[in-house]
Amino acid sequence: MIPTDPQPVPQEAATGPLPQWDRVEELVHEAYQRYHGHAEGTVADYIPVLGRADPGLFGLVVTDVAGGNHAVGDAEVLFSIQSISKLFVYALALERHGHARLRDVVGVNNTGLPFNSVMALELNAGHPMNPMVNAGAIATTALLGDGDPFASWAALDAGLAAFAGRTLSLDEEVYSSEAESNERNLALGKLLTNYGRLEGDSDALVDVYTRQCALAVTAQDIALMGATLADGGVNPVTGLRVVSEEVARDALSVAAAAGMYERSGEWLFEIGLPAKSGVAGGIVAVAPGKGAVGAFSPPLDSAGNSVRSQLAIAFLSRAMGLNLFASSVR
């Protein structure tokens, strides 16, 4: 279950722009105050080094499509991007290969199974179905370099930097820890190869995927990366176009269907925004044409979604009128 707020606020309609600057500032601070003491959730430990994260960390940022910024708490603390990278690497692959190729090769549906499921691949003759879980993300990373791991890395390193407006560095400790305990992802790579769904050296491509997940970001970075998708693919701070409007739209529709692991349907029902979550505790949620919320707090629920981040984004979606499906009569 998505965590429930003991004191939910009324849902504002999404019709029209974001509230005034001062009001957004006030709501971001209110969200922090409401949830920073919330103690539910457990820090991920299947990647050994992640288990050492401070469970008290909590950062929250709203970045709007004009580049306006509202940050509170641990907004500048670095954490590994993990699965949040899947959304942005998917956008880069869409930009390179187009809507139809990505739909056919990787798929756009939710598997309804955990992010590292082998069964999801086996049930679908090796078709990944979903670019937001590991098998589909490994296939997407491979496509970005046409099967050449060096080309994939160069493209995603440059592309994620363009989304974030700065070069991202690799968290070597997270990378080594995951690389040493990566049997499952290596197995997914081999299965994709076995089904003829992956071109290139699967171990080397899984290594690129592992590095991609170990890039270090802050809540501030993921908010700006999300705001770039909210702004039709143009980074609102640097002014540079990163992907086309069509790609931003397609990437967000997949995030809406599958960004929150096997809770994606419930998330869309309760919060009404495309979002992507990662096991280090980050979540980015995007309100197209308005802006994005970047949240970070390590304790996770059983699906792998940060508990405080979900509560804060749910609050902001209601109070700021972000839910895509909440219209009112003009």
Q: For binding to ligand GLU (CB under 6 A), which residues are involved?
A: 82-83, 115-116, 134, 178, 185, 213, 278-279, 304
**Which residue's CB is nearer to ligand GLU, number 63 or number 182?**
182
Least distance from ligand GLU to the Cβ atom of residue 79, Å:
11
- C-alpha 185/C-alpha 207 separation (Å) is 9
Host H or E run for residue 127: none
DSSP states of 256-294: HHHTTGGGHHHHHHHT-S-EEE-TTSEEEEEETTTEEEE
- C-alpha 298/C-alpha 284 separation (Å) is 14
Least distance from ligand GLU to the Cβ atom of residue 69, Å:
25
Among the listed residues 256, 231, 259, the one whose alpha carbon sits nearest the alpha carbon of residue 245: 231
- C-alpha 196/C-alpha 104 separation (Å) is 14
**Which residue's CB is nearer to ligand GLU, number 255 or number 279?**
279
**Which residue's CB is nearer to ligand GLU, number 116 or number 244?**
116
**CB distance 110 to 257 below 8 Å:** yes
**Which residue's CB is nearer to ligand GLU, number 59 or number 291?**
59
**Which residue's CB is nearer to ligand GLU, number 178 or number 231?**
178
Least distance from ligand GLU to the Cβ atom of residue 83, Å:
3
Least distance from ligand GLU to the Cβ atom of residue 188, Å:
9
List all residues 6 or more positions away from 280 whose beta carbon is below 8 Å from its beta carbon.
44, 50, 53, 79, 80, 81, 82, 174, 296, 298
Least distance from ligand GLU to the Cβ atom of residue 303, Å:
10
